[in-house]
Structure 1
Amino acid sequence: MNTKINYYKLASTRLLEKIISEFSYEGIFAPVQNDADQEVYTIKITSVIYYKFKATKRIYGNLIVHQDSTIRHENDCSEVADDAIRFIIDTLPITKINPVTTAHFIKELNNTIYADIAILQKDKLSASEIYKLPYAYIEGNMTGHPWFVINKGRIGFNSSDHANYAPEMQKIINLSWIAVNKDLITFSCISNLSYSKITQKEIHPDILESFNKTIMTNNKNPDDYFVLPVHPWQWENVLKQQFTKYIADGEIIFLGESTDQHLAMQSIRTLSNISHPEKHSIKLPLNILNTAVYRGLPKNQTINAPMLTEWVKTIAKEDDFLSTCNFILLGELASAYCKHPYYSDISESPYYFTEQLGAIWRESIHSRLKNNEKAITMAALTYIDPDGKSVLCEMIKESSLNVSQWLDIFFENTIPALLHFLYKYGMVFSPHGENSILIIENNLPVGLAMKDFVDDINICKNPVEELATLPQEVKDVIPQVDDDYLLQFIHTGLFVVHYRYISTILADKLNFPELYFYQKLHECVERYQTSNPELKARFKRFDLYKKNFEKLCLNRLRIFEVGYGDYSSRPKVISTGQLENPLYLGKRFKEINTQEFYYNKVSFRPFCLEKDLDTIHKWMNKPHVAKFWNLDKPKEHLKKHFCNMLSNTNQNLFMLSIDGREIAYAEIYNAKKDRIAEYFLANDNDYGWHLLIGPEDAIGRGYSKLLVEALSKYCFSELGADKVVFEPDVRVIPFQKIAPKIGYKNQGQINLPEKQAYLFICSKDSFNVGKEL
């Protein structure tokens, strides 16, 4: 067995599946769903080449590709698709990525596959083992950005660099140190800190004395120099050559390495001290291109980081609500920035040329934890081990709570502080998984910490009252944006970048429907809003419940919008289309679930997976139901099926009773968004329904007419339908007799993949029941 090629194929296959999923989500291509089997999709490229795969559609419209299901077809030949690079080349006729971008993009994909192979070759830790590791070691076990397909592109690293400095390799890094003439450095710190305090905490006295001797050996006075850490890669690959003038005239002096051991965090450029975890984390420039940008240190953010830290932390400290939250802002307490002797004088030079030398000292999470608290990167909640087990699911399992209970605690301890900054101060951070740290105790979430918040602070352009007297020095450096853009930091930065993946994991692994997840999120937002009525006007202004929000696309940013050219500023993501807001859907789902509908003798209640699985399993396996629904399956199969149904935002599921006895199950769906729209001219307000009667003794008792009347009435009165449709199998005679009496007109026979059916349509005007409408 050729182990190398097996690792390559496995890494390449998983990347191919991710590319299909994320490119489909971003609209780079549009797979066509199979009518006969709605889990089967096809990407047609040319008349002779196409790809076919199985996938589950999720709440954002994204497709989760089933592992190892993708087949490449060319002419009359087919083979398992395991070549991500070949897929990119094959699909060029439909993606239309330009040749220069394609070549660079493939370079990043190859780098990503190389890194993923190294991960596959590591000793495997289980999901339950990973989240129990110390914080820095958890970071090193993460597998990269869940959305970017080039999440380990790392242009600038060679294979040795990858082995020594990639976070997942978990190699010990000893920082290099240099002395830089104070005249070249802009040093900043919070008010109760100083350069001397930083060096005393970070550098052992013996090491500092050795550094000073080296400076004096170069005939320089240590009092004229700042001592700064540099990343070993940056020193060897950038600074020694690009700062040659300063090095030659003794303005920069190499001092050697410190003895403290560090590990690279997920961002690669931030290093955590594992010799003394309470010491600062160090953020250093690393001029490699990874995901969206070069990982340098921008001048303005670096210089102003301590001032912004102090300003935001003062707000948090003095706010009564925030003081009750276990919400930690890991401050960037001190910074140093050195401008380049030449690049800084070039107007509009590529941004990374001016971000080569500097340092930021950030609070360590270990210095802020209470007794018995543990920190894990929020990104760990998306981690799935080689056996398919999830960190998130293992945490829930070991907490002894069910999913719903655990999520209540999770949201209550992570969301309110972010909401409060938004609603009261018109301020947001970027709370995606890599920036957020979950604080847990006894396997339960008890708080949230934010890092890198200084880089991503944005405030509303039209300031709220609480920021009306914003200090000028703050106003000068914080981006001030429109309200809709501000909300993107929550919608995209949290919901799409993070919750999109963990809601999928809970649906896939624990059969917890995605709509249940977003209902839980809504309930947390609702509790915050109810307990803060004085901010009611802000809830309307910063409306998180808009039905749709703009879709931002990270992969499009690279392959279409900016490519691999040089720019004077960091690229910004441009919106592409609209997304249905899952928070809005969660709110609507709760509203539906808390209402019962009554008409004549019929009552509706929402279908509940936990409560109704046994009943629906029994009904689906009855011969009179099975021959039409084809769901006479084991209970676990039905549990997965109905979990996916409850994650489909285009429909609602109900249990129906007559005279208090539960006898039927129904699905009501938007016809315009359903395949039935291929068979008639559908409008946005057209709805359809499916119905089954479960108990045999309920057949032939005249219940069908009552149920059809009630379903139709619900669509017209509760949903505001213009037309209502249903498509009974031609063998179902009772519905064909009942429908015309109620106002439905038979449009003739239609051929659906699973049945021959009649299409019946009823308009609001022709509905013969309840003319009070």
Structure 2
Amino acid sequence: MNPTLEPLPLDDATLALLHAWVTHPRSSFWGMQGATPTEVARAHHALAATGHHDVWLGRVDGLPTFLAETYDPARSAASPLRDVAGLPPGVPAPGDLGMHVLVAPPDPDADPVPGLTRAVMAAVLDHCFADPAVQRVVVEPDVRNTAIGRLNAESGFVVLGEAALEDKTAAVSVLTRADHDRRRGRVPARTDPAAHLTPANLARAQRHLVAKALSELAHERVLRPEPLGDDRWRVVDPTGAVEHRFTATRLRLEHWALDEGSVERVVGGRSEPLDVQRFVVEHATALGLPDALLATYLEELAATLAGACWKLAHPGPDVDALLTADHLTVESAMTEGHPGFLANNGRIGFGVDDHRAYAPETGARVRLVWLAARRAHTTLALVDGLDEETLYAGELGAERDRLQRRLVDLDLDPADYLLLPVHPWQWTDKVAVSFAPDLARRDLVWLGEGSDEHRPQQSIRTLANATDPGRCFVKTALAVQNMGFVRGLSPAYMAVTPAINDHVAAIVEEDPELVTRGFTVLREVAAIGYTGDAYHHAGPRSAHQKMLAALWREPAAPRVAPGERLATMASLLHRDHDGRSFTVALVRSSPVDPRAWVRALLDAYVRPLAHCLLAHDLAFMPHGENLVLVLRDGVVARVVMKDVGEEVALMHDRPLPEPVERARADVGPDLGALSLHTDAVDGVLRHLAALLHTEGVVDQDDFWAEVAACLDRHATDHPELAAAATAYDLRRDTFRHSCLNRLQLRDHRQMVDLGDQASSLMWAGELENPFGRSRVAAAPPGVRAGGLRAGGLRAGGLRAGGVGAAV
């Protein structure tokens, strides 16, 4: 398929063709229904006479197939963007080029050509940007033209706003040169792909990461800062030659609220630039980092610094914009990664072009590669009530026929194969080489790219469908190392994932307390894995056995009721380019006071987690990227759990269905309680409490008092769980201090054994519980569940507006 453009010659034959196109019923948005050939010719000549409005005939493989118009939106009298009241700010601007495109109505007797419209749009945009003066392409389709709206979105256009024109309401949209180049896989000419790596950006990134190292490693008691007085501290390396000085306040849970601007590296009495890699080398012995792994860990720190520099050079939306942004925009705006890990954004394996193409912060759009995997060597597991036909019909629709036609063209029977989605990087860099024999045997068959565009999540290997948000998230194997793990997926491990999801979902959906809270899970409804390769036959466990698998997770978008929106829970700890907190912006935009806002969050987050633990011995891993917040008026109404299959534990001795046995964790209540104490309290709430405290929004003692009150309200409402509450004792005065960086530093190639995660943990004594009984008194009598009274919000976390019904 080879689209080309040429100036439109208005001879008799071309005029007849043009007239047929623009008057066709499918071209109604061109506004020329009923026009005569003479009127079409007159309109064309009027455009040509302006001197800044051009009409182009497009051919595909030599055949006339489409029409394109380009114009200067600031000068063309025919442009609907000239002198329009209410036009979005900045349109038109120098370097803008207006564009219209019309693909010829299809011949009713001809077969449709898959991908034609997208290929035409790409060719037209390439034509527009061939002029180096063009910096943005501007379009203004009728808001009712949903088909072109979807195509524009897939091509990267961003809607800036609506403008009321004489004959329509236009969705004024722009596509920048940089975004078009990125989507087309190009690095613009004369552009340095490492331009973000500047001394200024590196200095900021180093300061942030060194400050985080001092704070988190002191929290884990790996480092022991020495007081200098007046909240000044120092950390000295084992030789005594290098010290880091800083200002910090110690908060509850031994959290070090450290002033990044105060950090200073001093050698021989002189200040030197901050350098997190040198810091790690100097403290390697205290960190417990083996010599054999030091270089690899330093590489992951370098990659984390590179990612930070890119984000500094390309600041995302500010927190004000995020208050009304959609879920995927909020997801892509996150800058920090995991709040505890130092090496938290490495993605070892991605090159600089891969980062541009596949990282969430770049706004990347990804098309999955589809393979046919021989059924005899492939396992497809499904939740109850879902069959193979329904899965593929829902996720691929009519495109399934196109993919399977390649099998027929190769004289292969589609019934012998299952369809397996693969990340495009995984296909190019791993599968096409490491599985070459399987491809040659036709045990695996390349079928091509899917047409749906996906956007990567912070977890990098999970992709949200941007073309059709009603379709599933797809989690793929991705053999890059990120935050201590090679992000593979084990076919054997995932074979029971849908069954575990069914079991957990049934518990959640049948529990009245959880239903009242609106607490739900996104089920992983299907999992597929290929095992016909030599690596599986070899026997010993290896990363190669985790390279060809995927799962489908229910989408979040259908969970949203009118007036609600979604945001990743990681956003609660997000700060924008200017250091402004998203949580503080949410609190200040909400109709409730700050403590009521915290109360709503805790009732939606901590209370359901505690209830699952006490009522069902069920533990999740509820850190930031495993939850989706449902917001109403800036207040957390409820939460939705995800990543159920790999990160859930059932800690009881009750019978379980055989496939669900993998989720059984043989641990006592002390370790079981850490699913709340470590994962939620130390891993999330510690950081949130410090943020609100240092911003002067909610005092830390008031925050932890709210946590205590939340648990006490639950206990009052559920006296039948008194025995379990005593066993787990969530309000004990201390709990074991489980340390994440110690775990990563011991062996960042595989931090935990997924088959026995508890035995992999590393400890640093006990932490004082900030909501322990000896610190926080019990809630006063009469304080009931929810506790939200301000602003007319009812107990249970914003029940008004049918929140429960939306689940």
TM-score range with shorter-chain normalisation? 0.7 to 0.9
Q: Mean alpha-carbon deviation: is it higher for 316-325 or for 134-143?
A: 316-325
* Cross-structure match for 2:391: 198
SS of the residue 1:546 aligns to: coil
Report deviation, 1:203.
1.2
- What is the aligned partner in structure 2 of residue 580 from structure 1? 767
CA distance in 2, matches of 1:564, 1:318: 39
- Cα deviation digits, residues 194-218 of structure 1 (max 9, x gap): 111111111131x222212111111
The one of 506, 521, 524 aligned to 2:710:
524
Q: Which amino acid aligns with 2:489?
A: L
Does 1:39 find its partner at 2:249? no
Q: Distance in 2 between matches of 1:582 and 1:568?
A: 28
**Counterpart of 2:538?**
346
Q: What does 1:112-511 correspond to in 2, within 5 Å? A: 112-143=304-335, 144-205=337-398, 207-350=399-542, 352-460=543-651, 462-463=652-653, 468-511=654-697
Offset of residue 272 of structure 1: 0.1
Q: Distance in 2 between matches of 1:358 and 1:105?
A: 27
How many Å separate the matches in 1 of 2:489 and 2:743?
21
CA distance in 1 between counterparts of 2:581 and 2:248 reads: 19
In the aligned structure 2, how far is the partner of 1:584 from the partner of 1:299? 42
Q: 1:536 to 1:89 in 2, by over 3 A?
A: same
Aligned residue for 1:68, secondary structure, equals helix
SS in 1 for 2:262: coil
| Residue type at the aligned position of 2:442 | G
Change (3 A) 1:447 1:394: same
Shift of the 115–355 alpha-carbon distance from structure 1 to 2, 3 Å rule, reads same
RMSD: 2.3
Aligned to 2:126: none
Equivalent residue for 1:66? 259
Name the SS of the counterpart of 1:415 in structure 2: helix
1:323 to 1:118, Cα distance in 2 relative to 1, 3 A: same
Match of 1:642 in 2: none
Give 1:669's aligned residue: none
Matching residue within 291, 294, 298 for 1:99:
291
Partner AA of 2:230 in structure 1: D
Q: Contact 2:209–2:342 at 8 Å: present in 1 too?
A: yes
CA distance in 1, matches of 2:749, 2:504: 35
Change (3 A) 1:309 1:38: same
Q: 1:533 aligns with which of 709, 714, 719?
A: 719
- Whether the 8 Å CA contact 2:358–2:364 is kept in 1: the answer is yes
CA–CA distance in structure 1, aligned partners of residues 196 and 416 of structure 2 = 59
1-side partners of 2:224 and 2:244: how far apart? 12
1:300–1:477 Cα contact (<8 Å) kept: no
SS of the counterpart of 2:254? coil
| The 10-residue stretch of structure 1 (504-513 or 520-529) with the greater mean CA deviation from structure 2 | 504-513
- Taking the aligned partners of 1:233 and 1:324, their CA distance within structure 2 comes to 43
Deviation at 1:511, TM superposition (A): 4.8
User: Do the aligned partners of 1:458 and 1:481 also contact (CA within 8 Å) in 2?
Assistant: no
CA contact (8 A) 1:178 1:255 kept: yes
| In structure 1, distance between residues paired with 2:762 and 2:253 | 15
The answer to whether the 8 A contact 2:648-2:663 is kept is no
In structure 2, the partner of 1:728 is: none
TM-superposed CA distance for 1:373, in Å, is 1.7
Code of the aligned partner of 1:401: V
Unmatched 5+ stretches in structure 1: 596-773
2:792 maps to none
Counterpart among 219, 237, 243 of residue 25 in structure 1: 219
Which stretch of the first structure deviates more once superposed, 231-240 or 69-78? 69-78
**8 A contact 1:153–1:290 mirrored in 2:** yes
How many Å apart are 1:42 and its aligned residue? 3.9
Distance 1:163 1:443 in 2: 32
Letter in 1 for 2:363: Q
When normalised by structure 1's length, the TM-score is 0.72
Q: CA deviation at 1:95?
A: 4.0
Alignment check: 8 A CA contact 1:393 1:510 kept: no
Distance 1:364 1:224 in 2: 29
Shift of 1:427: 0.9
Letter of the aligned partner of 2:443 in structure 1?
Answer: E
1:174·1:260 contact (CA, 8 Å) conserved in 2? yes
Deviation, structure 1 residue 482: 2.4
Structure 2: gaps (5+ residues): 1-194, 782-807
Shift of 1:564: 4.2
TM alignment of 1:624-703, pairs within 5 A: none
What is the identity, as a one-letter code, of the residue corresponding to 1:346?
A: A
Given that 1:41 and 1:55 are in contact with CA atoms closer than 8 Å, whether structure 2 keeps it comes out as no
Q: Secondary structure at the match of 1:267?
A: coil
The Cα of 1:169 is off from its aligned counterpart by 1.6
Aligned to 1:196, what secondary structure does the other structure show? helix
- 3-state DSSP class of the match of 2:613? helix
Are positions 1:12 and 2:206 aligned together? yes
The CA distance in 1 between the partners of 2:303 and 2:198, in whole Å, is 16
SS in 1 for 2:418: strand
**Matched residues in 1 for 2:391 and 2:778: separation?**
57
Q: For residues 568 and 148 of structure 1, do their structure 2 counterparts lie closer, same or farther at Cα, with a shift above 3 Å needed?
A: closer
Could you report, residue by residue, the CA deviation over 1:599-643 in whole angstroms, capped at 9, with x for unpaired residues? xxxxxxxxxxxxxxxxxxxxxxxxxxxxxxxxxxxxxxxxxxxxx
The more displaced of 366-375 and 268-277 is 366-375
Matched position secondary structure for 1:376 = strand
Equivalent residues, number: 584
Classify 1:199/1:96 alpha carbon distance in 2 versus 1 (closer, same or farther; 3 Å).
closer
Amino acid at match of 2:728: F
What's the CA shift string for 1:538-591, capped at 9, x where partnerless?
10111112222111111111222x254899867844232223343434x44442
Q: 1:160 to 1:72 in 2, by over 3 A?
A: same
Q: Distance in 2 between matches of 1:324 and 1:268?
A: 33
Tell me the amino acid that sits aligned with residue 170 of structure 1.
G
Please, which moves more after superposition, 528-537 or 2-11? Answer: 2-11
Residues 126/114 of structure 1: CA separation in 2 closer, same or farther (3 Å cut): same
Query: How far apart are 1:52 and its partner, in Å?
Result: 1.2
- Partner of 1:591, secondary structure, is coil
Cα deviation digits, residues 77-105 of structure 1 (max 9, x gap): 224x4222222233346546333322111
Q: Counterpart of 1:98 in structure 2: which amino acid?
A: P
Letter matched to residue 519 of structure 2: F
For the 8 Å contact 1:332–1:361, the answer to whether it is kept is: yes
Query: Contact 1:131–1:376 (CA<8 Å) still a contact in 2?
Result: no
